[in-house]
Structure formats: structure tokens, C-alpha cells
Amino acid sequence: MQKIFLPAQHSPIHGLDHATCYRALSAKDSRFDGEFFVGVATTGIYCRPVCRVKTPRAHSCHFFPNASAAEAAGFRPCLRCRPELAPYALQQNLAHAIWHRIASGALNFGGNMQQLADHVGLSTRQLQRLMQTHFGVSPVELAQTARLLFAKKLLQETDLPMIDLAYAAGFGSVRRFNALFLERYGIAPSRIRRNTSNRTNLNNQSADAITLRLAYRAPFAWDEMLNYLTGRLIAGVECIQGSGPQRFYLRSVNLSHGDQELIGWYRAAHLQKEQQIEVQVASQLAPILMILLDKIRQQFDLDANPNVIESHLKLNPLLAPQCSATPGLRVPGAFDSFELAIRAILGQQISVAAATTISGRLARGFGTPISDGFIPDSARQDITHYFPRAAQLAQNKVTELTQIGLTTARAETVLAFAKFAADGGLDLAPGIGLQQAVEQLKTVRGIGDWTAHYIALRALRFPDAFPSGDLGLQKALAKQLGQEKVSATQLQLEAEKWSPWRGYAALLLWQSLSHNP
């Protein structure tokens, strides 16, 4: 067990001082969940600011910007509030972009510091210094904390065998997992599983599925999220089932893992009372759970802080009514960046409904059919294919694509983008700016400003991306202004006021076309 090292009581992150953090802790304020963690000197345990235990005295509290810093100081994670459930604190800078890569497994399964440093464009020494400066710990310590917390999550929420659990969390062996867990937390993994009181998820487990939960910062406009996705679903690849508050999203999954290609499915449902998303995953996807859950977090924008975003957008009288009408509105992301990008290309200059029809034809015509037994029986009619991979689609000919209803020019763009993605064009370096990303996308012939910004917004997760050429956005702004129409230039100028959350403003404007507060 590590000895507790108590840091100076100073700003942990975002300029928050000790007094501000303590007030947020005392109020159990969910707006700060994931923004900082509190270590309690009298217990040696660190918690999320929303933990429901009795608030400790201020002089016993020491605040940290991340879980790794708390563990480096010798604190153990709370078994009640479970720090591994906290939403991420997202910042648009290089250090946080690298941290996110590490937290989602960049140093697991053969990944190493040199590879990460090369990808970022830094030396290993510069990488070490950057992480130490921003987070107070090394990249290796960040990776170890991420592995341990993810393993703890699996221990408390699943009944995976220890060998599968250790491997899914990024450990090379069960022995190494057991030793590090005991050294860091002072308790054997098996005792965590035996002592876990909240085993409700295990009641939902089956032999062919793993059930996990992902937390978010409330509120969450789940219905609006599903409504947006409903009109843009790729038939045969994804679907929405159920009705009312019981609606859920389900899709096929086809991901590479080393030399293997793992296939399966996942299902996401909303647990509003718990402020969580319940995810069921095909058991054969267990080796890539860490990567898979990170993709799901991005697809449903679970790390957004709606209170911060809306407090900024509500300052604009054009957006304030819609903010109040749909609190917790998020930007629907993408499970697969290439898939979303192709869907965006198919939607160029045609209606949403027409693009949805053609995307379904493309999936059925060029994707891989799903064999019996790989999808739940209740979804067999809706989920029939895996979306084609970039290299797979790039091997086709223009004439083959025109047979599903594409023009020759559009088919050429699809194939050019498939080759671009297969060559790593979508694998952007951490910390790259929005304009750089847009310009890189526009190097593909047929990709203009609208398509590039739409891909940057939904697939590459740039919150300030804004497709000002979108006719729907122009129509929505004209409606708000009481004008007959506005130009892309007018829209762009108006959107300057909404930065750095222009992407969320775009969702509010799209939403206003179907819902007028």
C-alpha cells in the first residue's frame, strides 16, 4: 500500500481553488463530476464530488485534477461512488488529447511510449514532461490507473473470468493484474467482487452478453438524441427498438484487434434515474471492451457538460428559448468515423431521407452479411450486415457504386474517401486544430466545406465545427430572425457569437425546425 502524500491545497484544474472545490463537494454538484476528485486524508480514499457519503471536514480534503494524481498520492478509489464511472473532463488541448488516447488504451496490447510520441510528433522526453506538467504523473502512471479502474469496473459490474477481465483491462497476465491491484489498492481483486453490494447488472448478464454502465452529467435529452439518429440510421447496420422511455439503440460491430477481426453487436439504453447509459455488449467483444466503451461514450457525447455549454449559448437571445425547451441536448457522434463520413458524403445535396435510403443500399451491397447466431434474435430482421471497412470499399469500381443510385461524381468521391481513410487520413494526430482537420478532409476531391465540417462535428468530435453551408441551419436562423432567408455568410457571422460551442448551436437550430418553443 502506498504512503499518502498530501499535496499543497491549490488549484486542481480550471482555476478552481480549494474553497470552490469544497463548496462543490458539499453541494454534491454534478456539474463538477469528473472535473476533479477529492482525497480524504483520514480514510486514504478518493471520491467523485458527487459521492453520497458524509462530507468530510475541509482540512481533510485534498483535491486532484484526475484519478491518476489521486492514486499517485496514495489514495484508493471509493467503492461507493466509483471514480471509474466519472465522465471525462474534456479540454481542447494537446495534453488532454494525449491523455484521452492513453485512457482508452494507447499503451495497452503492444502499444508503447515511442509509438505514441511518434504519433503525437514529440520525443518521449517531451511527452513525459507534458504529462507531468499537466497531470502531475507520467504517461505510464496514467495508463496504469486507467487499467486498474477499468478492471475495478469489470469486477463490480460483470462476472467475467479473471483471465478475460485482466486481458480486457489491458494487462498482459493475471499475475501482473493481481499484483498491481493489491499493491495499489491494498485488496485482492477477488475480494472486490465478493464485497460488491451493487450487483444489479449481473441480473441482466447472459452467456452471450456483458452488461456495463456509463455515467454522464445530467441533463441528457435522450429522446432528442434518438429522434435525430432515427432519421439517419443505416438500414441493416443499426436500428432503434422499443417505445417511449424504453427505446434503445442497437448496432452491429466489426473492429480490428491486432491481427484479429472481432465481430458482434452492442445495445444502449437510458437509465434516467441513475444518470447512466446501460450498455449490453456481445461477449465475443470482451477483449476490446475498453476501446468499445470509449467509442460509445463519443457516439452519445457522454462527456459533454451541458450546464457549461448551455450557460454560454443561453446568452444569445436566438438560442435561449431552444436551450430551455431541450435541456441536455448533445451532439450525436459516430461509433465509426469512416461510416459517418461516408453517410455524410451520401447526403450531399439530397434530402436526409434519400441519403438514408442510399446508405442502406450501400451497406447491404458492399458490407459483410452477419451469420446466424451473431445478433440477438429480436434484432435479426433489422441488423443484417457489418458496414464495409475503408479498404474493403476502396476495392470496388465506380460502375458498381452507381448501381445503387449514386451519380458518377458521388461514387468517385466515396471511393476516393475510402482510399483516404484506408491510408490513415482519419487518424488525426492528438491536439490537431479544427481548421487543420477541415483542410485535411478537403484534400479529398468532392469534399467541400459543408461535408468537412459535418464530419469534424460528428465523427471527429470538434465542438466548434459548424457547417454554415447547411440549408437547414440557414432556414432555422431565418426563422429565428423572422426573415425569408439568410446566406451562409450571414449564418457564419452570427455563429461567431456561439464559439466555442457552435456545434451544439447547430443541433439547437436543427432541433428548432421540428420543435418551436
The Cα 108–Cα 100 span in angstroms is 13
* Contact indicator for 463, 498 with CB cutoff of 8 Å: no
* Integer angstrom CA distances of residue 61 from 32, 41, 43, 233, 445: 16, 6, 10, 47, 56
The Cα 431–Cα 120 span in angstroms is 8
The cell for 75 is 489514495
* Integer angstrom CA distances of residue 91 from 35, 156, 431, 495: 10, 29, 10, 21
Tell me the CA end-to-end span of the chain in Å, nearest whole number.
Answer: 56
Q: Does the annotation mark 17 as catalytic?
A: no
Q: How confident is the model at residue 353 (pLDDT cuts 50, 70, 90)?
A: very high
Number of Cβ within a 10 Å radius of residue 264: 22
pLDDT at 10 over 50: no
The Cα 150–Cα 152 span in angstroms is 5
Options 3.30.230.70, 3.40.50.300, 1.10.1670.40, 3.40.50.2300; CATH for 306-329+461-517 is 1.10.1670.40
* Contact indicator for 456, 438 with CB cutoff of 8 Å: yes
Number of Cβ within a 10 Å radius of residue 272: 11
pLDDT at 207 over 70: no
The Cα 114–Cα 106 span in angstroms is 11
pLDDT at 30 over 90: no
pLDDT at 259 over 90: no
Instruction: Give the pLDDT of residue 203.
Output: 47
Q: Does the annotation mark 47 as catalytic?
A: yes
**Cα 381 from chain centroid (whole Å):** 28
* Integer angstrom CA distances of residue 353 from 91, 96, 231, 330, 349: 35, 37, 7, 22, 12
**pTM of this prediction?**
0.88
Count, residues in the chain: 517
The cell for 215 is 455515467
The Cα 339–Cα 232 span in angstroms is 12
Cβ contacts of residue 459 below 8 Å, gap of 6+? 333, 334, 337, 340, 341, 344, 426
- Name the more confident of 204 and 337: 337
Where does 18-85 sit in CATH, by number?
Answer: 3.40.10.10
177-190 residue pLDDT tens: 999 999 999 999 98
The Cα 439–Cα 421 span in angstroms is 15
Instruction: Give the pLDDT of residue 339.
Output: 97
Burial of 61 (0-12, 13-18, 19+ CB in 10 A): buried
pLDDT at 8 over 50: no
Instruction: Give the pLDDT of residue 11.
Output: 40
Q: How confident is the model at residue 13 (pLDDT cuts 50, 70, 90)?
A: low
pLDDT at 491 over 90: yes
The Cα 446–Cα 444 span in angstroms is 6
The Cα 354–Cα 410 span in angstroms is 14
Q: How confident is the model at residue 14 (pLDDT cuts 50, 70, 90)?
A: low
pLDDT at 338 over 90: yes
Task: Indicate left, alpha or beta for 36 from its phi (over 0: left) and psi (-120 to 50: alpha).
Answer: beta
Task: Give the class (CATH, top level) of 204-303+334-444.
Answer: mainly alpha
* Closest to 45 measured CA to CA, from 28, 62, 24, 23: 62
pLDDT at 118 over 80: yes
**Coil vs helix vs strand at 5:** coil
What mean pLDDT is reported for the chain? 90
Task: Return the amino acid letter for 215.
Answer: A
* Contact indicator for 238, 356 with CB cutoff of 8 Å: no
pLDDT at 146 over 90: yes
pLDDT at 397 over 80: yes
Strands 276-282 and 45-47: unpaired
The Cα 8–Cα 176 span in angstroms is 33
Q: How confident is the model at residue 196 (pLDDT cuts 50, 70, 90)?
A: low
- Name the more confident of 24 and 205: 24
Q: Which of 21, 33, 47, 239 is catalytic?
A: 47
Q: How confident is the model at residue 5 (pLDDT cuts 50, 70, 90)?
A: low
Average pLDDT over every residue of 312-330: 94
* Contact indicator for 316, 504 with CB cutoff of 8 Å: no
Average pLDDT over every residue of 485-492: 94
Which residue in this structure is represented by grid cell 460502375? 399
Instruction: Give the pLDDT of residue 282.
Output: 95
Q: DSSP of 365-388, one letter per residue?
A: HHSEEPPTTSS-GGGTTTB-EEPP
pLDDT at 377 over 50: yes
Instruction: Give the pLDDT of residue 4.
Output: 56
**Coil vs helix vs strand at 350:** coil
Task: Return the amino acid letter for 78.
Answer: C
Instruction: Give the pLDDT of residue 439.
Output: 96
Q: How confident is the model at residue 200 (pLDDT cuts 50, 70, 90)?
A: very low
The Cα 72–Cα 4 span in angstroms is 9
Minimum mean pLDDT range among 16-20, 59-63, 387-391, 455-459: 16-20
* Contact indicator for 221, 322 with CB cutoff of 8 Å: no
Instruction: Give the pLDDT of residue 503.
Output: 96
Considering the segment(s) 94-195 as one domain, its CATH architecture is Orthogonal Bundle (1.10)
Q: Delimit the domains of the chain by residue range.
A: 18-85, 94-195, 204-303+334-444, 306-329+461-517
Instruction: Give the pLDDT of residue 46.
Output: 97
